[in-house]
Amino acid sequence: MTLRTTARLGQDRAWDVASFAAPAMLLFASFILLPLLLAATATFTNHRLVSPEPTRFIGLDNYVRLLSVQTLSVEKETGSYPTWRETRQARPELAGYRPAFQLELGDTRYVLAARDPLFYRSLINTFLFAILVLPLQCGAALGLAILVNQKLRGRIFFRTVYFAPVVTSMVVASIVWSFLLNTDRGLINAILRVLLGNPELSPDWLGSPSLALPSIALMSAWQGAGFQMLVFLAGLQSIPHEQYEAATLMGANAWQRFVHVTLPGLRNTIIFVLVSTTLLAFGLFTQVDVMTLGGPLDSTSTVVYHAVRKGFEEQDIGYGSTITLVFFTIVLGVSLLQRRLGGNGGKT
């Protein structure tokens, strides 16, 4: 009797779990799994949004177009390097390739050429943005969390103020920062002129290839730090206060308590914040679309922006889907590696 009752309870519980999970699984299948399968299918076709030609199967042509690269070295001739056209004419295998990166060492120029060089420049820009925004945003979020975790008057007000940019539309925030970073009339340059006493000072924050991407990273860190602040704040409040008291009794100063109590207590929180922030950084699109349109000289073009431009502006859905799927694989690998390194970090 007991076994039969237990079995029935197990079946009822499984049915309850399935009933609760069904709506979520249906949404996941409709908005995640199905689009992913459709995109994967489109990568093997020449599908376009508007075209008189019917969609046809082209096999791996899109992948060959995206992943084909050539590395070569070019020597100086009569004091200067030959042009890319001259190099391509001398090497027939480079037909259809264009330089993505080049590096000069002595009298030799090393060139990475690709059929789609903008994809590789966009990939490098995406990783550079992640490298810039990760320490900036996560460091600011942790500092703010420690600050608003203190028992000070007005801490609720400051929590609200620091979180406010998160609920602001990214489009609105990007437009506002475009005005702030304006070369001639921007508030940031006006403040710098006053502080440095140089009325001629006018950095071109969004028009310089070396400043545009760091400027977007600064704006993105400002907009997103509030969310990570709340996550860190929850982690800080989960650390037993007795650990800080014990460390204080043992003579630990504030920095030692931070290193030996706070950071170990936030280990899982830090892993979550790093992984989530990395995923958000890899999805950079809105800021670029509003503030720079991928310029100047493609210095802010990202993989997502490149895929959207290929898929919708140029209406090449098949190739845009290929970019998306390859980038999804790269991001998945980076996330798994990050998670694995973070998981091993606490093992002795």
Write down the domain spans for the chain: 69-114, 119-315
Structure tokens at 116: 């789609």
Please check the confidence at residue 252 and state whether its pLDDT lies above 90: no
Specify whether the CB–CB gap between 288 and 302 falls below 8 A: yes
- Quote the pLDDT of residue 45: 93
Return all residues near 328 (Cβ < 8 A) that are at least 6 apart: 36
Model confidence at 80, pLDDT cuts 50, 70, 90, reads confident
Among 13-17, 211-215, 308-312, which is the least confidently predicted range? Answer: 13-17
Contact 209, 299 (CB under 8 A): yes
State whether residue 15 is helix, strand or coil: helix
SS3 of residue 112 by DSSP: strand
pTM listed for this prediction: 0.88
The confidence band for 343, taking pLDDT boundaries of 50, 70 and 90, is low
| pLDDT tens string 103-126 | 888 888 899 999 999 999 999 999
Distance, in Å, from the CA atom of 98 to the CA atom of 69, rounded to the nearest integer, reads 9
Instruction: Report the interhelical angle of 212-237 vs 267-282 (nearest 10°).
Output: 150
The number of angstroms, rounded, from the C-alpha of 262 to the middle of its chain's C-alpha atoms is 27
Query: Quick one: pLDDT at residue 1?
Result: 47
Confidence (pLDDT) at 154? 80
Q: How many CB atoms lie within 10 A of CB 100?
A: 21
pLDDT for res 346:
45
Cβ atoms 283, 334 nearer than 8 A: no
Query: CA of 328: how far to CAs of 90, 128, 203, 282, 324, in Å?
Result: 37, 17, 36, 10, 6
pLDDT at res. 344:
55
Are 229 and 314 within 8 A, CB to CB? no
Map tokens 């900036």 to a residue: 136
The highest-level CATH class for domain 119-315 is: mainly alpha
So what's the pLDDT on residue 151? Answer: 82
Residue 186 φ/ψ, nearest 5 degrees: -75, 145
Residue 89's pLDDT band, with cuts at 50, 70 and 90, is confident
What confidence score (pLDDT) does residue 59 get?
92
What are the tens digits of pLDDT across the range 201-240? 889 999 999 999 999 999 999 999 999 999 999 999 999 9
Q: Identify the band that residue 77 occupies on the pLDDT scale cut at 50, 70 and 90.
A: confident
42 burial (CB, 10 Å; 0-12 / 13-18 / 19+) is buried
Record the tokens describing residue 338, joined without a space. 């990050």
Q: Above pLDDT 70, what percent of the chain?
A: 95
Residue 160 pLDDT greater than 70, yes or no: yes
Q: Is the pLDDT of residue 8 over 90?
A: no
Dihedral over Cα of 235, 236, 242, 248: its sign: positive
